[in-house]
Structure 1
Amino acid sequence: MANSKEGFNLRRLASHHLFLPILALVLMMVINFILSPSFFSITINNGVLYGSLIDVMNRASELIILAIGMTLVTAASGGQDISVGAIMAVTAAVVTQILSGGEVSVSQYQNSIVLALGAGLLAGMLCGAFNGFLVAKMKIQPMVATLILYTAGRGIAQLITHGQITYIRVDAYKIPGNYISGIPIPTPIIISTVVAVIAFVILKKTALGLFIAGVGMNSSAARLVGLNESRIKIIVFVINGFLAGIAGFIASSRIYSADANNIGLNIEMDAILAVALGGNLLSGGKFSLMGSIIGAYTIQALTTTLYSLNVSADRLPVYKAIVVLVIVIAQSETVQKTVKELLASRKKLIKVQGEV
């Protein structure tokens, strides 16, 4: 009786939607610990936390913010936004261009940081609204619709900065991407945590989360109960653009400049992979923000693992693409149906053998 109950609890645990994401994260952490026994060591130097684990959490901050937006887009539209990296570059270009007053390099702000950040986030939201319009009103498949900004976004950023890398050599500008004096935790970790908490609260305390999942699961049924499918999708893409803008600001602050060619480069793939690793169906519907956040940490841990194995940066997308392929195949209806049939056959065979 006890064994039966224990087996039931194990099956119940394994069926939880966060079981596989957490298992993948733990596996990555163990591999990193094996490759580097000091992986979990955390030290304080000049009042600042240092260590490989802290570095993983720090570097995953932008990805966490993007994964939240990508989760909502995937849930509502059944597709992915591949332009978030380009939107990051556009936001960084707008912010630095306003702060520098058009100069290539400045040592003090030429305009208000509030004005610059507000304009940058507005630019990100406009990019999101453009994507949302194409998807919701023009009925273009999300990945195809966002391919436009994926292709043109960095060119727009180059136009804004006149083809130059704009440097903001002001200590205050480095704070969002580094540390706040007197606080040992990296600022990006704090920002990403605040963004995640706000997202959880909004989706928990309002009906927006239900609306997004409803539209993603069955848009026809959602219309019948009075939901405005197009409006919800546009809102989701605007939110995604806003979050990409925040990530772009952090990335720009890390290097105190706007490098249109490199900020957010290939990060859209990591965001999609984080959503998939989080147990979210890439076809849309019900979603888990916590799963995507865990997935983001897993991706960063995977990146750290690959670097430990001396894999060059230009080869990283190949290995991540393999992971995406495996996840997508595992989530397909054909594979899931086959697995269920095999399990049912095995259970039936065991029952027959027991009777014999």
Structure 2
Amino acid sequence: MNYQNLSPQLRRSIWPVAGLLVLLLTNVLIAPEFFSIEIKDGRLYGSLIDVLNRAAPVALLAIGMTLVIATGGVDLSVGSVMAIAGAVSAGLIVSGVDSVFLVIGGGLLAGLAAGFVNGFLVGYFGIQPIVATLILMVAGRGVAQLINSGQIVTFHHEGFEFLGVGYLFGLPFPIILVIITFVLVQLLMRRTALGLFVEGVGANASASHYIGINDKLIKLMVYCLSGLCAALAGMIAAADIGGSDANNAGLWLELDAILAVVIGGASLMGGRFSLFLSIIGALIIQALTITIILSGVPPKFNLLIKAAAIIVILLLQSPEFRRQLGRIKQWRRA
């Protein structure tokens, strides 16, 4: 099959998926038991399950970040929103709220409010996305610290902790939550006109406005969705450790989320996007982390190896880089 004859969408899918497969196969060479999965008490255990489970928060962030980037924006505040949502939920629990629906609803409402602020600043005030979201990135952790009174708040609530450590259908619940979120957002984007509006605003906001698309409202909606996804990720992180740490919850995960979207082939200029490939990007980041750990490389080299591997993946995705490689091959043949 000729690569050039493939559809553009399929061509964009090949390299991220190939990169993930290479990383997984590398792990098999390092640790032959990597793909082995055991069933204990109706639950699945294994390194592959751990990769999926640990990638869940970044995958959720990547779903929301994909939509924001598709409109030509960026959301640097998602890590801080994770901290805020975790702090709100923890605060409700320690204050005596027993209903898991109210606890989760409080965290989601906090994420929605944060997304609304970002979307309003970007869409209706025309502030550059990197500046508007940087404000909440800095201030958000301060808000979370105020909610926690500057302390690490610990709690015990079986219903809420199920978000982070529970199992459903044999899988860790964070994986199930990512699947549910992906399906719902994918249906919203591809089974309604909203997905076309998002791509249209990202490709040319002015032209979209003149043909009747409310570009300001679209931007507000995607930032609100990003806030909701960040809130889910924050509650998973809080439920996993049974506490809220405003200083460290979601720290620098916004960069991993942006990187996952870029690895998935989305353009930072806006326009086309793929939620599925963004999740593949999140899995690549987590699989790479596991690969470095299994290989026994000293920790001081971890970030350098991670950066180098990601650069290689991005270069392989670049059409210009592949054209240059083709020219070099032709020159050698000549």
Could you tell me which residue of structure 2 aligns to residue 199 of structure 1?
185
Q: Secondary structure at the match of 1:304?
A: helix
Distance 1:321 1:141 in 2: 27
Contact 1:66 1:247 (C-alpha < 8 Å) held by counterparts: yes
Deviation at 1:192, TM superposition (A): 0.8
Per-residue CA deviations over 1:174-228 (Å, capped at 9, x if unaligned) read 2111124x74211111111111111111112211100000000111211111111
Contact 1:39 1:52 (C-alpha < 8 Å) held by counterparts: yes
Aligned with residue 21 of structure 2, among 26, 42, 48: 26
Could you tell me which residue of structure 2 aligns to residue 84 of structure 1?
78
Contact 1:276 1:327 (C-alpha < 8 Å) held by counterparts: no
Deviation at 1:124, TM superposition (A): 0.7
Aligned with residue 232 of structure 1, among 218, 239, 244: 218
Deviation at 1:156, TM superposition (A): 0.8
Measured at CA, do residues 337 and 33 of structure 1 come closer, stay the same or move farther in structure 2, by a change above 3 Å? closer
Deviation at 1:172, TM superposition (A): 2.6
Deviation at 1:337, TM superposition (A): 5.2
* 2:83 is the counterpart of 1:97: no
Deviation at 1:311, TM superposition (A): 5.2
Distance 2:332 2:298 in 1: 48
Unaligned 5+ runs, structure 2: none
Could you tell me which residue of structure 1 aligns to residue 40 of structure 2?
45
Q: Secondary structure at the match of 2:171?
A: coil
Distance 1:314 1:247 in 2: 28
Contact 1:21 1:291 (C-alpha < 8 Å) held by counterparts: yes
Aligned with residue 250 of structure 1, among 236, 252, 256: 236
Aligned residues: CA RMSD: 2.7
Distance 1:206 1:312 in 2: 49
Q: How does 1:101-140 map to 2 (within 5 A)?
A: 101=95, 109-140=96-127
Measured at CA, do residues 325 and 37 of structure 1 come closer, stay the same or move farther in structure 2, by a change above 3 Å? closer
Contact 1:100 1:111 (C-alpha < 8 Å) held by counterparts: no
Letter in 1 for 2:258: I
Equivalent residue pairs, number:
333
Could you tell me which residue of structure 2 aligns to residue 56 of structure 1?
51
Q: Secondary structure at the match of 1:18?
A: helix
* 2:247 is the counterpart of 1:261: yes
Contact 1:270 1:296 (C-alpha < 8 Å) held by counterparts: yes
Measured at CA, do residues 329 and 347 of structure 1 come closer, stay the same or move farther in structure 2, by a change above 3 Å? closer
Distance 1:292 1:338 in 2: 21
Percent of aligned positions with the same letter in both sequences? 43
- Give the greater-gyration-radius structure (CA): 1
TM-score of the pair, normalised by structure 2 = 0.90
Could you tell me which residue of structure 1 aligns to residue 194 of structure 2?
208
Distance 2:140 2:296 in 1: 32
Per-residue CA deviations over 1:93-131 (Å, capped at 9, x if unaligned) read 001101110xxxxxxx53422222212111111111111
Deviation at 1:240, TM superposition (A): 0.3
Contact 2:16 2:313 (C-alpha < 8 Å) held by counterparts: no
Deviation at 1:60, TM superposition (A): 1.0
Letter in 2 for 1:189: I
Could you tell me which residue of structure 2 aligns to residue 291 of structure 1?
277
Distance 2:230 2:298 in 1: 26
TM-score of the pair, normalised by structure 1 = 0.85
Where does structure 1 differ by over 3 angstroms across 4 or more consecutive aligned residues? Answer: 309-331, 335-350
